[in-house]
Chains A and B, each alone.
Chain A
């Protein structure tokens, strides 16, 4: 199959993923929006008023980019891990595996679905945030690129999780025990300037800190991390995660006998 054929296959996989997202919008779009609305109401509106300023901004304004990024991370990851594992579990992943679809097309098609869901939920959460606070975008290109790169990293992460998953429990272990804690400790709700020096140093090992701060820099123009470091980390993770995915899919690990 020539390159044009591969692009058709890529479009087909992405289209299939988008149809899935829209078909089950009550599961894919609504719950994260409700969760984020509750964060805005409880942490932003009720508790946030007592917190005052953070990083030079009203707490609600400071927190909004973090919550948007959190929804992008969890939804891009969740979309690919559930869709790919369901395809593996039900067996219809074989449709792609027996066809002459290249490994990079299978990866990009699913990652495309993850990015689209991440951006869709992130967009709706942004609209919700506007009901609670004023938001402006200082650096639109940085904002968008940081969102897309982060969604890419976590879509790839979701795919790796799905490749290794053998049962439904395996799909929820990483989000519950790794992704959740790293996200909450990734500067969504606070600036690392508040942390004791030791814990601030420990936080530097958390990649989500770079993504949240890179995005916050794009929106508000403030960050605990230099924007160059943020880009370096997120781009490095994209390449490493893609390489791992490509190796696993090409070798058939977790998807072929």
Chain B
């Protein structure tokens, strides 16, 4: 199967920031983490790579960043094949790993300044970029402290500053907001949106699907080492056949309530859960509620839409796997 990124379809002149072809990884213990995946991420995209734990996201990122040796396939970063021109490919990438891997004895300043040196930035440029990145991530005032003294959120921000110091064209973030509070998470979202608008291509893996839905234009869902969905975020969300809303009613839910054309379930005295299918809309729901004489004080999505789709895709594949495993027994 050959996937083309939506952006590539729309604008073929746009270069791919990342191109994976038949990427395969089999670990020494025989476990196949990636089953020949194909993936394109267009330059300038904000791309979500989603999947459950153990799906192969971190392995794929590890191969792209050369921390994991691939078994087969090709990886190109802005046209640089990692097998032929690894140094050029590496120069284009900034990576924020899942685990906090700062040198805990280094100062905040040196954590960033040293990485500038690893990318060959001359001292004056390295100093300027270090200051700029630390200021942008609101860490300049803490530059003299050792990194181990920072809070979890600050460490995450420091890792982003470190990844950006050499001005990468492609920023890969592996669960960058894991374990940080909502305020810091939202400030990080603002920052990531800004650098994406300035031209940096971003690939994001996250367990917060709300984060992916809010930030990313395109999405790839990986499960058990295979890409199971790859499209524009809006197209992916459109594939949902239904959404569930929780409505808070002004008055208690009448015992004999009937909403014409809609299924509902009472949750408590004042709340009901209503399913809206793809061929229905909210206007129809409110018209039916008006006809029934019901006043609604507030409403909310029961679940995040992307989360709903994600769970369905993963559940479906799990079911297929179970059926495949069961098949030989049935034949016998």
A1-B91, A257-B68 are contacts. A8–B102 as well, Cβ < 8 Å?
Answer: no
Closest to A3 in B: B120
The reply to whether B90 and A94 contact each other, CB–CB distance below 8 Å, is: no
Residue among B90, B100, B105, B120 making CB contact with A98, cutoff 8 Å: B90
Q: Which residues of A contact B93 (CB under 8 A)?
A: 98
The reply to whether A99 and B101 contact each other, CB–CB distance below 8 Å, is: no
Most chain B CB within 10 A, of A6, A20, A96, A98, is at A98
Interface size on A, residues (CB 8 A): 31
The reply to whether B97 and A91 contact each other, CB–CB distance below 8 Å, is: yes
Bound-complex Cα distance A97 to B106 (A): 18
Closest beta carbon of chain B to A47's beta carbon, Å: 40
Residue among A6, A8, A20, A256 making CB contact with B105, cutoff 8 Å: A20
Closest to B163 in A: A98
A257-B27, A257-B69 are contacts. A9–B117 as well, Cβ < 8 Å?
Answer: yes
B contact patch SS: loop
The reply to whether B87 and A1 contact each other, CB–CB distance below 8 Å, is: yes
User: Taking the complex as formed, is B103 at the interface, i.e. its CB lies under 8 A from any CB of chain A?
Assistant: yes
The reply to whether B104 and A100 contact each other, CB–CB distance below 8 Å, is: no
Chain B proximity mask over A204-241: 1 for CB below 8 Å, otherwise 0: 00000000000000000000000000000000000000
Interface size on B, residues (CB 8 A): 36
Closest to A95 in B: B115
A95-B162, A100-B90 are contacts. A1–B95 as well, Cβ < 8 Å?
Answer: no
Q: Which residues of A contact B200 (CB under 8 A)?
A: none
Q: Which residues of A contact B99 (CB under 8 A)?
A: 91
Closest beta carbon of chain B to A58's beta carbon, Å: 44
The reply to whether A8 and B117 contact each other, CB–CB distance below 8 Å, is: yes
Q: Which residues of A contact B88 (CB under 8 A)?
A: 100
Residue among B67, B69, B103 making CB contact with A92, cutoff 8 Å: B103
Bound-complex Cα distance A252 to B104 (A): 24
Residue among A20, A94, A100 making CB contact with B97, cutoff 8 Å: A94
Q: Which of A11-19, A135-143, A195-203 lies at the binding interface?
A: A11-19
User: Taking the complex as formed, is A50 at the interface, i.e. its CB lies under 8 A from any CB of chain B?
Assistant: no
The reply to whether B69 and A252 contact each other, CB–CB distance below 8 Å, is: yes
Bound-complex Cα distance A92 to B111 (A): 10
Bound-complex Cα distance A204 to B59 (A): 49
Closest to A16 in B: B114
Closest to A251 in B: B69
Bound-complex Cα distance A90 to B86 (A): 25
Closest beta carbon of chain B to A124's beta carbon, Å: 23
**What are 5 A-B contacts defined by CB distance under 8 Å?**
A1-B91, A13-B118, A91-B101, A257-B27, A257-B62
Residues of chain A whose beta carbon lies under 8 Å from any beta carbon of chain B: 1-2, 4-6, 8-9, 11-13, 15-16, 19-20, 23, 87, 90-92, 94-102, 252, 256-257
Residues of chain B whose beta carbon lies under 8 Å from any beta carbon of chain A: 27, 59, 62, 65-69, 86-88, 90-91, 93, 95, 97, 99-106, 110, 114-115, 117-123, 162, 166
Q: A1-B120, A91-B97, A98-B66 are in contact. List 19 more A-B contacts (CB 8 A).
A: A5-B119, A9-B117, A12-B114, A19-B110, A90-B101, A90-B103, A90-B104, A91-B99, A91-B101, A94-B97, A95-B118, A95-B162, A97-B67, A99-B115, A99-B166, A100-B86, A100-B87, A100-B88, A257-B27
